[in-house]
A and B are shown apart, each in its own frame.
Chain A
Amino acid sequence: MALPLGTAAVLLLALFFELARPRLRRSLTRARVAVARVRRERAEESYDPGRERRAEQRARALLRSCVNEEDWEIYSELGFLRVLGPVGAPAGDSPAPYAYLIYPHKPIVAYVPATGELLSEYCVTFPDHSRPFGSSRLPHSDDVLAKWMAITADERRLIGEANMHLPGRQVEPERVRRDLARLARWERERSERELGGVRAA
């Protein structure tokens, strides 16, 4: 009795396997493709210093093509951009009442050019909304360019979007003062160079 039942069970199992084999094969193929895709995506997302360096080089070229030559020189030599406020106001004889320093991946710092007094920090980021969790950052120069475009296009909107803090929350006031001193020295040397060039001519 046991032998026929056992044989029947084996036959049923073999039949079931034979019927399910195409479906199993398709499922296995789909799983393999999915695993390969995940591996490929992980490989693309993995840290690649070469990719980041190339991205930064492209970002610097893009920034250079967008800002004034003087601003580019400030950025390439000092590491930040300076935007005089109010943005869009015609340049007059009177000094700008305030200005912004734009650092890569740091808050925008507002200050008074005449006195060097620090006014506030505006913390703003440009997150990848398509991938809200664990998304990569923009290259340094792209972050600076994004802030520059946003502030020169619509100063009020950007300042409205940003989180405002007192100076010193994220950017060391001493660092900003050093940078303002470096900027003043840079401008002095530049005007002396230009003056020297005019005299020589």
Chain B
Amino acid sequence: MKPGHGEIVLAEGDVGIPAEELQLIEAFRRELDAGMWAAVPTEGLAGRREAELVKSFDEVPRDAERVIFFPRAAGGAAPVGR
């Protein structure tokens, strides 16, 4: 997710193919180095969908369809306006 633009595909590939996995790892590291959070949409035990934050490529489930990067959360202090 990129402010002002929305969703942008950064990299696509098959983790089973070493060259493509390398590209995915590079893209993953680049985004985390830029201060983004990485999340993988998953399904919880109760069948409800949720997300899992991952801090390294090794934590990404091998069968994950995608990793979503989004800006790191910060406490907002927007002015009070009604």
By a beta-carbon cutoff of 8 Å, the part of chain A in contact with chain B is 45, 51-52, 54-56, 58-59, 62, 65-68, 71, 87-88, 90-91, 107, 123-130, 135-139, 142, 145-146, 148-150, 152-154, 157-158, 161-163, 169-170, 172
Interface of B is mostly: loop
Given A153-B50, A154-B53, 10 other A-B residues pairs in contact with their CB atoms under 8 A:
A62-B6, A123-B75, A126-B1, A126-B72, A145-B1, A149-B51, A149-B68, A162-B76, A163-B76, A170-B81
Interface size class on chain B is: 20 to 34
State the Cβ distance, B40 to closest chain A Cβ, in Å.
9
User: Which residues of chain A have C-beta atoms less than 8 A from B70's C-beta?
Assistant: 126, 138, 142, 145-146, 149
B34 to A130, Cβ gap below 8 A?
yes
Q: How far is the CA of A59 from the CA of B68 in the complex (A)?
A: 12
Cα of A91 to Cα of B81 in the assembled complex, Å: 37
Q: Does residue B44 face the partner (Cβ distance < 8 Å to A)?
A: yes
* B3 A62 Cβ-Cβ under 8 A: no
Q: How far apart are the CA atoms of A126 and B35 in the complex, in Å?
A: 11
What 1/0 flags go to B52-82 for Cβ under 8 Å of A? Answer: 1100000000000000101111111110111
Complex CA–CA separation, A59 to B39 (angstroms): 15
Q: List chain B residues, Cβ under 8 A from A157.
A: 53
Chain B residues near A136 (CB-CB < 8 A): 3-5
Known contacts A127-B74, A161-B75, A142 near B46 by CB under 8 Å: no
Task: Provide the B8-52 mask, 1 if CB < 8 A to any CB of A, else 0.
Answer: 000000000000000000000000001101010100111011111
Q: Of all chain B residues, which has the CB nearest A56?
A: B6
Which residues on the B side are within 8 Å of A51 (C-beta)? 5
Q: Are A124 and B51 CB-contacts (below 8 A) given A58-B7, A129-B71, A146-B1? A: no
Can you name the residue of chain B whose Cβ is closest to the Cβ of A123?
A: B76
Q: Which of the residues A138, A153, A158, A163 comes within 8 Å of B52, measured between beta carbons? A: A153
Is B7's CB under 8 angstroms from A124's CB?
no
A109 to B82, CA, bound (A): 16
